Structure 1
Amino acid sequence: MASTEPTTPQRDDTLVQPAVAPPTGRHTAPPTAREAVAAQRATFGGVKWGAAFFGWLSANGLAVLLISLLGAAGVAFGLARGVDSADEAAEQAETIGLGGAIAVLVVLFLAYLAGGYVAGRMARFDGVRQGIAVWVIGLVVVLVLAAAGAIAGAQYNVLQELDLPRIPIDEGTATTGGIVTLVAILLATLLGAMLGGKLGDRFHRKVDRAGFPG
């Protein structure tokens, strides 16, 4: 009589087991913040002209606001008034010219500081280069508008039509004081833009250090 006990399935020892790599004693460590930032910078770094453009817009907006506040407070009184002779310009420079020039330098420095910061925050990497790009855009726009005004006529001089405070020396007179002031403005705006871009970039480095070990 045949047995009715259930049969136990036999184990198939011929199945191929997954290969296990021999231990090497080394473990893959997660990337540090420095390594992660370096990899991201290689892909997304460089000058971002879109961010620089919006930074330049921010710089101009803040400059107009601050200059308006200075004008309302009377700090920049007399900056926009033209003169007829170099002697009159020298007299004004001795009284209100120096204070007005310093006020304009501070305003432009703060404006480009904000513009560089906006560009640095938007671009995330290479903040100093973003700030320089903001400054370059501002310089190119000023040169283009000034050239357009010189070629097409004074009525198309956008900078003059805006009636922004300027050094009390006639536009056609190139004096030593005017040249020194121009150089000071260029340096102040450049340094402000570079510092602002660095500050905007620095914010993202804080975020990276918080999100990665090491």
Structure 2
Amino acid sequence: MSHTEPIREETREESRVERTRADYPSERRDEARDKFGGINTGACFFGWLVAMAVAILLTSILGALVAAIGSNADISQTEAQRSAGTVGLTAGIVLVVVLLLAYYTGGYVAGRMSRFDGAKQGLGVWLIGLVVTIVAVVAGAAFGSQYNILDRVSLPRIPIPTDQLTTGGIITAVVIVLGTLLLAMLGGKVGHRYHDRVDRAAYR
């Protein structure tokens, strides 16, 4: 047997070990995704809380700025304005932007907190917001306005009349629903990029 045979055997063994090491992290990630993937309810809930906090904070800041410049625009909206379903164009645009930023931030937080599926975490944040809104509206309609939490807390939302469906109201609702959904999912994907960078660095 020549002296090159042991060297070739050792080289083949090292190559086999390297292939095993390369395949092992991928297999482990797939197993972890199957076990821990999907919507993380806890992360989505805290993401929704952050979204509401950001919405309240931005609304308060904008309200203070409006008061400082002496404008008549009401960003937070009074109960009378909500009931009447009236809102200025500028205030309406500002409120839509606030909601979009809030849900983007909430989706980002949920995606950053979760190991997998950032977009699904953003979807979870949006679903929690939708469920809370529906429950609050139903409770207010069934038991009285004092149980409608959304009307008792100054959360930014576009006043859509419930007594009649108008073209403007439908368009506004579609913009809010689709816009917050897309921004929440986008925020989740952006927040999850941190975990992708860690994976690339660890398994390079």
TM-score, structure 2 normalization: 0.79
Cα drift, residue 129 of structure 1: 0.7
* Residue number in structure 2 paired with 1:204: 195
More helix by share: 2
Q: Report the residue type matching 1:59 in the other structure.
A: A
- Aligned-pair Cα RMSD in Å: 2.7
* Residue number in structure 2 paired with 1:177: 168
State whether residues 47 and 108 of structure 2, in contact with CA within 8 Å, keep that contact through their aligned partners in structure 1: yes
Q: How does 1:103-114 map to 2 (within 5 A)?
A: 103-114=94-105
Cα drift, residue 125 of structure 1: 0.4
After superposition, the Cα gap between the structure-2 partners of 1:76 and 1:108, relative to the gap in structure 1 and judged at 3 Å, is: farther
Distance of 2:84 and 2:117 partners within structure 1 = 47
Work out whether 1:123 is the aligned partner of 2:114.
yes
After superposition, the Cα gap between the structure-2 partners of 1:73 and 1:38, relative to the gap in structure 1 and judged at 3 Å, is: same
* Residue number in structure 2 paired with 1:78: 74
- Structure 2 unaligned residues grouped into runs of 5+: 1-8
* Residue number in structure 1 paired with 2:42: 50
Work out whether 1:28 is the aligned partner of 2:24.
no
State whether residues 121 and 200 of structure 1, in contact with CA within 8 Å, keep that contact through their aligned partners in structure 2: yes
Structure 1 segments of 4+ aligned residues over 6 angstroms from their partners: 83-86
Distance of 1:128 and 1:76 partners within structure 2 = 39
* Residue number in structure 2 paired with 1:193: 184
Work out whether 1:148 is the aligned partner of 2:148.
no
* Residue number in structure 1 paired with 2:4: none
The number of residues matched between the two structures is: 184
State whether residues 98 and 156 of structure 2, in contact with CA within 8 Å, keep that contact through their aligned partners in structure 1: no
Distance of 1:76 and 1:117 partners within structure 2 = 34
* Residue number in structure 1 paired with 2:125: 134
* Residue number in structure 2 paired with 1:38: 30
Distance of 1:40 and 1:162 partners within structure 2 = 40
Distance of 1:121 and 1:166 partners within structure 2 = 26
TM-score, structure 1 normalization: 0.76
Cα drift, residue 58 of structure 1: 0.7
